[in-house]
Structure 1
Amino acid sequence: MTLAGQFLVLQVIVLLVVLACAALFSVRQSDAEFREQRGAPLRAAAQELANIDLVRTAMTSGSIYDSLESYVATTQARTSTTEVYISEPDGTVVVAVDDSVIGQKVPLGERGDRRLRTWTGDLAFGDREAIGAQVPIISEDSELVGVVTVAEAYPTLGDRARRWLPDLVTFLGIGLLLGVVGSWLLSRLIRRRTRGLEPAAIAALADQRDAMLHSIREGVLAVSAEGRVTVLSDSARELLALREDDFEGRRLVDLPLDVGVLEVLVGEDDVHDRVLMVDGRLIVLNRNRIHHEGRAVGTVTTLRDRTELLAMQSELSARESVTETLRAQTHEFNNQLHTISGLVQLEEYGEVSSFIGRLTRRRAEINESVTKRIDDPAVAALLIAKVSLGAERGVDVVLAEDASLPRLAPDLSADVGTVLGNLVDNAVDATVAAGGPRIDVRLRLEDSVVSVQVADTGPGVAEDAAEEIFRRGWSTKSSDASGRGVGLALVQVICERRGGAVSVHNDSGAVFTARLPLEPPEEQA
């Protein structure tokens, strides 16, 4: 059955129930009105009959009952009643129009007649209900010698139905007509609001939506035009670091989110591939406004975790940096070989020997300056590569004299390499752009914490951007979801995962300091 049909059936049932209640109320009201209207005339007729001297004399003497039949018939005809009896004090009928009831007992009221008082109320004559009045017949000695009963039966249900049926049919017809019209209008309204879907289709869509939201890895956040959360998937709640479960229906601004995240979520413009830092994760966010028939109905935001992917990209970038360094060294070696070849052809053998000696000493000095301070081979190799790459771009990468780093665990060595590579690459870019001469690198192990400090001679970092560069992957280059502009954010992620931190200040350029504990927090606990 369609939704309109269900509403029609429901309204018809409601109308029938209302009509049944109205009929019951009408019956009770009709009985009350009948009782009120007929009680007084019946009581007056009974009093008039009981006060006739001949009636009182006959009941006192207990004879000449036949002479009272005319009075009883006259009273019954005049009042249009169904029952008029004269009975003895115990209710035994002695005078009545219908001889068949003489000798039978009339039901006496619960009060009055035995106390010489008039009584009016309901009486039962077999299976019939009647409104009756009973007046005592009192002798000259003030004794009860009989009772006059005048009663009229209530209208039958058939009589009432014949009286009410026209109105009942009219009201029912009007009600059904209004129900059909109302159901049709309501059905149109509901179909317009539900995009023409029936309840079964809506329920199926709701089930499919729940299943989809619980199965996809990307987070989904839907917000109504009033700014209230309508959909919050499990993945979105996890990515946004929301610990509670019941957020749907609440205002978006009331959610315990970082100020920077809220600014993006409540903005009015569409957002594409915005990189955010949330609880140590790099989140790529896309937010689109939803319109229906030209009216804004809310926004839908998708969230994707790119932390691991960006870590892999950073590692690949480090490998690419090493490859680029090897390429630069190959180019440099080719030039040097060409020089040696030319000197040999000129038979300048002494100059050849001197030239090779200078190259050997220079390479040995670079390797020795790094390896005598840095015992970890992976970090040392990376640093040597960065020194060569910086030299090719005209920047001196200088390791501090007090630098010292022992051999590290493989996971810590990889993290230190990632942090060092990103910081040095950013420093080289900033220094080259500003025309600076050098970059200072300092590595130390102090109090079970590896400290990585990289100071460039670039333009420095603006004070108002000191935190922004870590939180949103700030970069002087264009930022996108592929990894560009997230190097510093990745540095912060790695430091925070190990229970450390990264900071920046200016001192003739930008000075970045990253601290990485030897053991992650869970291992320390």
Structure 2
Amino acid sequence: MRLGLQGRFLLMLCLVSLLQLVLLSGASYYYVSEQRYQEVGDQALDVARLVAREPGVIAGVKRGDRARLNVLVERMRAEVGASYIVIGDAQARRLVHPNADRLGKPMVGDDPQRALQGEFYISRAQGSIGGALRGKGPIRDEMGKVIGVVSVGYLVRDIDADLRGFLRFGLFCTLLIVLLNSAAAAWLARRYKRAILGFEPEQIGRLYAELDCTLRTVREGILTIDEQGRLTSLNPNGIRLLRLDEQAARAAIGQPINQLLPGSRMLSLIQDPRPQYDEEIVLNGQPLIVNRLPLVQDGRLIGAVSSFRRKDELAELSAQLSQVQAYSDLLRVQTHEHNNQLGTIAGMIELGATQEALAFIGREAATEQTLLSFLMGAIAKPKVAGLLLGKYHRAHELGLVLIVDPDSCLLDIPARVSGSQLVTLLGNLIDNAFEATRRHGAPYQPIRVALSDLGQDLILEVEDGAGGVDPGLAGRLFEHGVSSKAEPGHGIGLTLVRKTLDALQGTITIEATAQGSCVVCYIPKEV
């Protein structure tokens, strides 16, 4: 079973701390034991020198008086705390020994010749009493002649018994530290898991991969900053939309956003964390539509995120939508009109008025064909001709009159002006004229459309008889959401007209007429 984050933290910290403490405790124990053995060895050597200089010991060795030597040496051993003191004669035979049955026998454990040759030294060996750390040296008479050997020993088991207390204390400290680390690991794991919203590391990795893939696939540019205004991320489409060098953009991560994009105005969201939607800005020379939102976690501002798209992409989508709507209206109106005409023809036939039915068919066909031939011959863009034909039928359906100026001509259209853009302009202007005429209650007043490609401009005129523009709205008609209609959802058409003309570097004027107003669009053929 896979451990969770808390279990991993606990296991990892416990194992690491245990390994460190075992190594530290082992090193400490080795150092302390070596120091202790060195101290005991030095102490044994000092006691050996003391015993070798003791006059009573020298006299006893010279006389070979074992009884007095054993009493004297035992008293000295008790005073210094040695495990034993052994004294041998010049042939290294024992004169003093804790075990009486060993008296007179040769000293064992190591070669006593070094002491008989006059050297004091420390040795560690297995003697007759057991393993011991011993200080050995010669016993000299008044003339300096070596007459015996002294060996002062401290049993290894007694030294190790002292060290076991230190070892127990070290193990207790190790256990205590492991327990404290376990508690710290549990607290740290809970705190860390709260910070990552309860996710496991594998889940965070998957979420990061999904987020990175999402940021690469969305068409919008997305950038984020932290609460200090430093850039934290910028997706590939954002780099492309802003026309940035990819390496420079990647290097800017972690740097203040104003170093890479001075005009981003992202810091305004840090100072005033209120969402900002559909704001038009020019960033790095690119016209953009920007949305900005604050990033808030646990009620605290931790940064901001911004998504952006090129302004002309939105205008293109709006134009395409207008074009699709126009085609849809055209098909619906034509279907409705043809149904009416078929119903009229069917009624005439049932009444036996076949000649009248044939005449009606001829008139309708001639009218339709005349208008269609005129539009196809006067306008180079089939989309525009189709739009006008559809609006003609739509006007008839609404009980209005749409007149296309017979002198209209739109053949010399520059390549930079697309049919979709002309459809956006004419479609929205004609729809506004329809609505204004119906609202004004003057269906008998025709809506006139005139198109011209003479001179240096394309000129599009839409005139209505709806009483003119409200003076209170004249200066704001092209702002988003501004409309003379009280119902929501209006105020979009003229905004699209303005954006399309801005893209074409054209102009628009609204002129008052005797019955209403005339909207004129000027599109330069050359920029």
Q: Taking structure 2 as the reference length, what is the TM-score of the superposition?
A: 0.55
Q: Partner residue of 1:291?
A: 296
1:239 corresponds to which residue?
Answer: 241
Alpha-carbon separation, structure 1, partners of 2:134 and 2:490:
98
- Does residue 256 of structure 1 match 2:246? no
- Taking the TM superposition and a 5 Å limit, the aligned residue runs for 1:322-337 are none
Deviation at 1:259, TM superposition (A): 1.3
Contact 1:423-1:512 within 8 A present in 2 as well: no
Q: CA RMSD in A?
A: 6.6
CA displacement, residues 225-248 of structure 1 (integer Å, 9 cap, x when unaligned)? 333344433333333334335268
Q: Is the 8 A contact 2:126 2:132 kept in 1?
A: no
> Do structure 1's residue 133 and structure 2's residue 138 form an aligned pair?
no
- Pairwise mapping of residues 196-235 of structure 1 onto structure 2 (< 5 A)? 196-235=198-237
Task: Return closer, same or farther for 1:204/1:381 CA change in 2, 3 Å cut-off.
Answer: closer
Structure 2 SS opposite 1:196: coil
In structure 2, C-alpha distance between the alignment counterparts of 1:239 and 1:488, rounded to whole Å: 23
* Residues in 2 aligned to 1:157 and 1:513: alpha-carbon distance in whole angstroms: 107
1:306–1:105 Cα change, 3 Å: same
How far off its partner does 1:261 sit? 5.9
Cα deviation, residue 46, structure 1: 1.1
Aligned equivalents of 1:189 and 1:405: distance in 2? 71
- CA contact under 8 A between 1:281 and 1:307: conserved in structure 2? no
Task: Quote the residue 1:431 is aligned against.
Answer: none
Which residue of structure 1 aligns with residue 50 of structure 2?
Answer: 48
User: SS where residue 306 of structure 1 aligns?
Assistant: helix
Instruction: Please say if residues 384 and 423 of structure 2, whose CA atoms lie closer than 8 Å, have aligned partners that are also in contact.
Output: no
Contact residue 48 and residue 135 of structure 2 kept, 8 A: yes
Where does the alignment leave 5 or more consecutive residues of structure 2 unmatched? 332-373, 390-400, 431-449, 462-477, 512-519
Shift of 1:51: 2.2
Q: Distance in 2 between matches of 1:455 and 1:45?
A: 124
Select between 274-283 and 219-228 the one with higher mean Cα deviation.
274-283
1:180-211 deviation per Cα after TM superposition (whole angstroms, max 9, x unaligned): 54344334423332223333433333333233
Pick from 20, 23, 44: which aligns with 2:22? 20
Q: Does 1:105 align with 2:110?
A: yes
Give 2:274's aligned residue.
Answer: 269
Amino acid at match of 2:260: P
Aligned to 2:161: 159
Give 1:298's aligned amino acid.
G
Matches within 5 A, 1:355-394: none
Indicate the residue corresponding to 1:309 in structure 2.
317
Identity over aligned residues, as a percent?
Answer: 19
User: Which whole-Å deviations, capped at 9, do the CAs of 1:66-124 have from their partners, x for residues lacking one?
Assistant: 689636655545434345455799xx844362567626534899xxx7996755x5x32
Deviation at 1:125, TM superposition (A): 0.8
C-alpha contact (below 8 Å) 2:77/2:85 kept by paired residues = yes
Task: Report if aligned partners of 1:287, 1:299 keep a CA contact under 8 Å in 2.
Answer: yes
1:447-499 CA-partner distances (Å, limit 9, x unpaired)? xxxx869999xxxxxxxxxxxx9xxx99988999978646665567xx8xxxx
Once residues 42 and 225 of structure 2 are traced to their aligned partners in structure 1, the CA distance between those partners, rounded to angstroms, is 73
- For 2:93 and 2:169, the matched residues in 1 are separated by 45
How far residue 50 of structure 1 moved from its aligned partner, in angstroms, is 1.7
What amino acid is the match of 1:150? V
Shift of 1:310: 4.5
Query: Which stretch of structure 1 is more off in the superposition, 31-40 or 311-320?
Result: 311-320
Q: Residue type matched to 1:124 in 2?
A: R
Structure 1 residue 273 displacement after superposition: 2.9
Distance 1:234 1:474, change over 3 A: same
User: CA shift at 1:47, angstroms?
Assistant: 1.6
- The residue type paired with residue 301 of structure 1 is S
Corresponding position of 1:338: none
SS in structure 2 opposite 1:43?
helix
Give the stretch that moved more between structures: 199-208 or 247-256: 247-256
Q: Residue type of the partner of 2:124?
A: A
Q: Relative to 1, partners in 2 of residues 1:9 and 1:151: Cα closer, same or farther, differing over 3 Å?
A: same
| 8 A contact 1:132–1:152 mirrored in 2 | yes
Q: Structure 1 pair 307/416, CA: closer, same or farther in 2 (3 Å)? A: closer
Match of residue 80 from structure 2: 79
CA contact (8 A) 1:284 1:481 kept: no
Q: Deviations over 1:36-70 (max 9, x none)?
A: 764565334212322245766898x9x95968963
In structure 2, distance between residues paired with 1:516 and 1:416 = 14
Any conservation in 1 of the 2:125–2:133 contact (CA below 8 Å)? no
CA distance in 2, matches of 1:175, 1:273: 58
Distance 1:405 1:515, change over 3 A: closer
- Quick check: 2:223–2:235 contact (8 Å CA) kept in 1? yes
Do the aligned partners of 1:65 and 1:94 also contact (CA within 8 Å) in 2?
no
Within 1, Cα distance between the matches of 2:113 and 2:289? 93
| Partner of residue 180, structure 2 | 178
Query: Offset at 1:271?
Result: 2.0
Give the whole-Å Cα distance in 1 for the aligned partners of 2:113 and 2:200. 65
Q: How many residues align?
A: 437
- Mapped partners of 1:452, 1:260: distance in 2: 36
Structure 1 residue 270 displacement after superposition:
1.0
Deviations 1:404-449 (A, max 9, x none): 979x6xxx25x37778898999999xxxxxxxxxx999999xxxxx
| Distance in 2 of aligned mates of 1:144 and 1:515 | 129
State the one-letter code of the partner of 1:149: S
Q: Deviation at 1:132?
A: 4.0
Contact 1:31 1:154 in 2 (8 A): no
Aligned to 1:355: none
Aligned residue in 2 for 1:327: none
The residue identity in structure 1 corresponding to 2:80 is T
Task: Tell me how far apart the structure 2 counterparts of residues 270 and 179 of structure 1 sit (CA, whole Å).
Answer: 45
In structure 1, C-alpha distance between the alignment counterparts of 2:269 and 2:490, rounded to whole Å: 18
Report the CA distance between 1:35 and its aligned residue: 4.9
SS at match of 1:302: strand
TM-score (norm. length: structure 1) = 0.55
After superposition, the Cα gap between the structure-2 partners of 1:485 and 1:155, relative to the gap in structure 1 and judged at 3 Å, is farther
Larger deviation, residues 242-251 vs 1-10 = 242-251
What is aligned with 2:368? none
Q: Structure 2: how far apart are the matches of 1:313 and 1:273?
A: 19
CA distance in 2, matches of 1:474, 1:107: 113
In 2, Cα distance between the equivalents of 1:276 and 1:483? Answer: 21
Query: Do 1:474 and 1:488's aligned partners in 2 also have CA atoms closer than 8 Å?
Result: no
The answer for unaligned runs of 5 or more in structure 1 is 324-366, 386-391, 429-438, 445-450, 457-468, 496-501, 518-525
